[in-house]
């Protein structure tokens, strides 16, 4: 049976509007032309509600006052009128949130770019290059994911202190540039998406390994690399454990700065939740801006014409 044309082919022949319609049909129907059962939509709706519930609870707390929260952990099921006042308190607090947010942007962006580049390079090597000890080395890389991060904190801190990097953003950036999950992710993706015949044909034409990576491997890995970069950015943006140890309060990232809001013996929950919402807004904006492009790229890379 002949397969349906891909969205990229439809866009080339019939235009973007027809391609968008084809993507919408692909989301509504499976490969046999059948609609998914209604219970699928019900299950997805429940998952969405469960995912948004903590964020909505934070909104309720951020729009209330500390006195209301002390009397009732859930002051109201609807947001109150103190949200803007709490935002102003967060901005005017002793903690420099703008500087902390800039530190998070620098660290998260740099870590995401480095992880994507190194993971695609390593994935290409494990997937399509043949060298001695390849399987053992890949098994070792995957095995490192079973080691808890907390076990390496003390020696890692000693290394950073001996290098004079404590308190610097380099101490947060350097340990995160290599990702065992990223290497495994890109290895599996390139093993399925990159035909070995294509690599051999490029070598016969005289292309070097770097030219093959630049012109063939990286474009083929772009859908999976985009998702890996997004996940890495979010993970680095929300990382609190290691930055709180190596940076402290002198040069914090945004999660560490939010923790500094709860100083003293009294915790102002409304102020802390307002700061949490401030830190979540950039992530939501990122998903709104690039989410559709990433999903379209993954679908385009997964559908064969």
Place of tokens 């059962």: 37
Q: Measuring CA to CA, how many Å separate 285 from each of 129, 209, 253, 279? A: 39, 38, 19, 11
Task: Check residue 303 and give its pLDDT.
Answer: 46
Q: How far apart are CA 127 and CA 224, in angstroms?
A: 14
Q: How far apart are CA 267 and CA 283, in angstroms?
A: 25
Tokens for 81, please give them. 């009128």
Answer yes or no: are the C-beta atoms of 245 and 259 closer than 8 Å.
Answer: no
Query: Which phi and psi angles does 277 have, rounded to 5°?
Result: -65, -35
Query: Which phi and psi angles does 165 have, rounded to 5°?
Result: -105, 0
Residues 6+ apart with CB under 8 A from 80: 60, 63, 64, 65, 68
Task: Check residue 123 and give its pLDDT.
Answer: 92
Task: Check residue 170 and give its pLDDT.
Answer: 92
Task: Check residue 115 and give its pLDDT.
Answer: 95
Task: Check residue 76 and give its pLDDT.
Answer: 77
Answer yes or no: are the C-beta atoms of 235 and 181 closer than 8 Å.
Answer: no
pLDDT in tens, the chain (305 residues): 444 445 454 444 555 666 666 666 555 554 555 566 678 788 888 998 898 888 888 888 888 888 888 788 777 788 888 888 888 888 777 778 888 889 999 999 999 999 999 999 999 999 888 888 888 999 998 888 888 888 888 899 999 999 988 889 999 999 989 889 999 999 999 988 888 888 888 888 888 888 988 888 998 888 888 888 888 999 999 998 899 889 877 788 988 888 887 765 567 788 888 888 888 888 888 887 776 666 655 555 454 44
Instruction: State the CB neighbour count (10 A cutoff) for residue 50.
Output: 9
Place of tokens 């808890």: 148
Place of tokens 């660290």: 107
Q: How far apart are CA 290 and CA 207, in angstroms?
A: 33
Cβ-in-10-Å burial (0-12, 13-18, 19+) of 63 comes to buried
Task: Check residue 173 and give its pLDDT.
Answer: 92
- Ordered DSSP codes for 121-172: HHHHHHHH---TTHHHHHHHHHHGGGS-GGGGHHHHHHHHHHTT-TTSTHHH
């Amino acid at each position: 049976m002949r397969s349906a044309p891909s969205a990229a082919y439809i866009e080339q022949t019939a235009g973007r509007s027809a391609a968008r319609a084809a993507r919408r049909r692909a989301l509504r129907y499976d490969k046999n032309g059948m609609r998914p059962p209604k219970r699928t939509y019900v299950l997805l709706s429940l998952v969405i509600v469960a995912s948004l519930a903590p964020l909505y609870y934070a909104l309720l707390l951020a729009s209330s006052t500390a006195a209301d929260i002390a009397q009732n952990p859930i002051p109201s099921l609807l947001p109150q009128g103190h949200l803007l006042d709490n935002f102003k308190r967060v901005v005017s607090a002793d903690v420099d949130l703008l500087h902390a947010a800039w530190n998070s942007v620098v660290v998260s962006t740099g870590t995401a770019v480095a992880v994507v580049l190194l993971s695609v390079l390593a994935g290409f090597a494990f997937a399509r290059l043949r060298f001695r000890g390849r399987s053992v080395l890949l098994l070792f890389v995957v095995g490192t994911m079973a080691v808890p991060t907390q076990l390496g904190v003390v020696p890692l801190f000693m290394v950073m202190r001996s290098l004079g990097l404590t308190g610097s953003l380099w101490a947060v950036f350097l340990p995160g540039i290599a990702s065992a999950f990223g290497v495994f992710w890109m290895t599996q993706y390139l093993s399925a998406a990159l035909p070995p015949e294509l690599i051999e044909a490029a070598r016969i034409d005289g292309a070097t390994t770097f030219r093959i990576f630049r012109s063939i491997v990286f474009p083929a890995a772009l859908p999976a690399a985009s998702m890996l970069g997004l996940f890495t950015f979010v993970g680095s943006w929300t990382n609190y454990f290691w930055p709180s140890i190596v940076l402290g309060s002198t040069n914090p990232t945004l999660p560490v700065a939010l923790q500094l809001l709860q100083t003293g013996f009294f915790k102002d929950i409304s102020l802390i939740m307002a700061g949490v919402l401030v830190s979540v807004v950039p992530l939501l904006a990122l998903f709104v801006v690039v989410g559709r492009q990433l999903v379209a790229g993954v679908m385009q890379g997964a559908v064969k014409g």
